[in-house]
Amino acid sequence: MEERATPRWLDVLWLIFLGGLALLPPIREPHKQWILLAIGVFQLLEARLMRGIGKRGNIYAVVVKIVLATVLINHTQDVPISSPYWPIFWLPVMTAATYFSPVGTLIWTGVASAAYVSNLIPIALSKEYEITWQNGWSVIVLRILFFFLVAMTVNRFVMEYRLQVQRYQELSQSLSEVNRNLKQAQAEARRAERLAALGQLSAGLAHEIRNPLGVIKGSAELLNQKLAGSNPLSQELAGYIYTEVNRLSALVGRFLDFARPSRLDLHPEDLSSVMDKSLKAVEQQGAGARVAVHRAYALELPHVRIDRELFEQAFTNLLLNACEAMGESGGQLMVRVHRGRDDKEVIAEVEDSGPGVPPEMKEQIFNPFVTTKKDGVGLGLAIVSKIVDAHGGTLKLISLHGQGACFRVTLPAAEMQPLALSL
């Protein structure tokens, strides 16, 4: 149900006022009652009619009221200019002041004043009544001045009201943005707490596991040497032990990379050259053999203060993930480095043509041990996120399921970046 702009009791009060005008002398003038009824009906239906007409509804509203006011003046006095109903012209004047700007209000008030003065035309043509400055013109000019005074007073309040509404809307938008940022900050704080707890757990487990793995690895090497040239099955089993221990050792190393605090060696760097170094590392590993790489680097980019070694690791992880997401069939890998807003940010994007990330995984994809790969551990993106966060940047996933994934790294320019010292 549509909410009414004004309460019903105001409409009833409006009708009571018009009824009072209809009952005042001359009571037997039927035209007056019909005109007042038309004014009342139009006033009640004005908002609905304006919505139906569209953009020019405000113009039609003022014109109709000027016409009705002129007709009322003509039917309420033998000499129309002396009609006691002349204040009815305030109605179109205030309507124009409500709908239009100050200039528009002045124009429409002039039109209403001209309509009021037009009642003198029949008198001037008939020459039955002479209007002098003392017996007419001074009163007419005074009334017209009051028209303009009322119009500009109402328009001033309307313009101030519109300004206040605009301020409230801007304040509301600002509060909404602050609220969104606060929720995001709260989510990031909760995520940071989870990362800290998982980091401590990972570090403890990794240290406890590493020592037994060293013993198992050394024992497997000795066993493999003792069984050389003997039982083939035993030698094969010893080889399995050695291989799996190496895999576990690499996994423990990744746990330690994620959990170990380290110092950042910050220097102004060209992000495009860091990305190129990571691309070469991926090519050397053979991960992008069937991938077509497309580079799009903006020229004369501002430098960013980063730890080059850590960011080479971060970009390498993102590039490897993109290549693995496209599978053995390969695909298109787009790498972009460009400016952010007002040259205060530098943005690096790694976009693949793979299957993308399922919508239900987008919120957790940067959490540790969350992965979409069957044989993945789920630490690669968590390490990347940790590195980017430590440099005062942001890491976002832009993905439509089935249309590839795009990871966007945003970093402040060197002169805008706070001095982060630890990771």
At 256 the pLDDT is 66
272-299: pLDDT as tens digits: 999 999 998 888 777 666 788 899 999 8
Q: What are φ and ψ of residue 394, in 5° steps?
A: -130, 150
- Distance from C-alpha of 270 to C-alpha of 346, rounded to nearest angstrom: 10
Residue 423 or residue 63, greater confidence: 63
Asked if 420 and 401 count as a contact pair (C-beta separation under 8 A), the reply is no
Q: With the C-alpha atoms ordered 200, 201, 202, 208, is the resulting torsion angle positive or negative?
A: positive
Asked if 35 and 21 count as a contact pair (C-beta separation under 8 A), the reply is no
Q: What is the mean pLDDT of residues 348-373?
A: 78
Q: What are φ and ψ of residue 296, in 5° steps?
A: -140, 90
- At 145, the pLDDT band (50, 70, 90 cuts) reads very high
At 420 the pLDDT is 44
- At 335, the pLDDT band (50, 70, 90 cuts) reads very high
Place of tokens 């170094």: 277
What's the Cα-to-Cα distance from 14 to each of 37, 39, 67, rounded to whole Å?
11, 11, 20
Residue 8 or residue 55, greater confidence: 55
| Residue ranges of domains in the chain, CATH in brackets | 8-131 (no CATH), 189-259 (1.10.287), 267-412 (3.30.565.10)
Asked if 388 and 394 count as a contact pair (C-beta separation under 8 A), the reply is yes
172-190: pLDDT as tens digits: 999 998 998 898 888 878 8
Q: What is the mean pLDDT of residues 361-387?
A: 73
At 4 the pLDDT is 47
- Residue 292, strand partner residues: 332
Most confident residue range from 116-130, 160-174, 381-395: 160-174
Per the structure block, which two tokens stand in for 235?
Answer: 């030698």
Per the structure block, which two tokens stand in for 272?
Answer: 């495009």
At residue 378, the 3 state secondary structure works out as coil
Evaluate if residue 1 carries a pLDDT over 50.
Answer: no
What's the Cα-to-Cα distance from 365 to each of 183, 195, 305, rounded to whole Å?
19, 13, 26
Q: Residue 242: how many CA atoms within 13 Å on its side-chain side?
A: 14
Q: What is the mean pLDDT of residues 392-398?
A: 87
Q: What percent of the chain has pLDDT over 90?
A: 20
Evaluate if residue 378 carries a pLDDT over 70.
Answer: no
Evaluate if residue 418 carries a pLDDT over 60.
Answer: no
Query: Looking at this protein, which amino acid is placed at residue 238?
Result: A
Asked if 97 and 105 count as a contact pair (C-beta separation under 8 A), the reply is yes
Longest Cα–Cα distance of the chain, Å, equals: 140
45-93: pLDDT as tens digits: 777 777 777 778 888 889 988 998 888 887 776 655 667 788 888 889 9
Query: Looking at this protein, which amino acid is placed at residue 210?
Result: R
Pairing assessment for the beta strands 405-412 and 345-352 based on DSSP bridges: antiparallel
Q: What percent of the chain has pLDDT over 70?
A: 79
> Dihedral of the CA atoms 163, 169, 173, 176 (nearest 10)?
140
Helices within 285-326 (DSSP H only):
308-326
Mean pLDDT of the chain: 79
- Distance from C-alpha of 279 to C-alpha of 365, rounded to nearest angstrom: 23
At residue 106, the 3 state secondary structure works out as helix
Evaluate if residue 156 carries a pLDDT over 90.
Answer: yes
At 254 the pLDDT is 66
Q: What are φ and ψ of residue 131, in 5° steps?
A: -105, 120
Q: At 296, which helix (H) or strand (E)?
A: strand 291-297
> Dihedral of the CA atoms 99, 104, 108, 113 (nearest 10)?
130
90-99 and 57-74 helices, crossing angle to 10°: 170
At 189 the pLDDT is 82
- Distance from C-alpha of 357 to C-alpha of 364, rounded to nearest angstrom: 11
At 419 the pLDDT is 44
The pTM of the whole model exceeds 0.85: no
191-221: pLDDT as tens digits: 777 767 766 776 677 767 777 877 887 887 7
Per the structure block, which two tokens stand in for 258?
Answer: 């994620």
Evaluate if residue 6 carries a pLDDT over 60.
Answer: no
Evaluate if residue 327 carries a pLDDT over 50.
Answer: yes
Residue 329 or residue 393, greater confidence: 393
Asked if 96 and 151 count as a contact pair (C-beta separation under 8 A), the reply is yes
Query: Looking at this protein, which amino acid is placed at residue 264?
Result: L
Please compute Rg for the chain using Cα positions: 40
Asked if 372 and 387 count as a contact pair (C-beta separation under 8 A), the reply is no
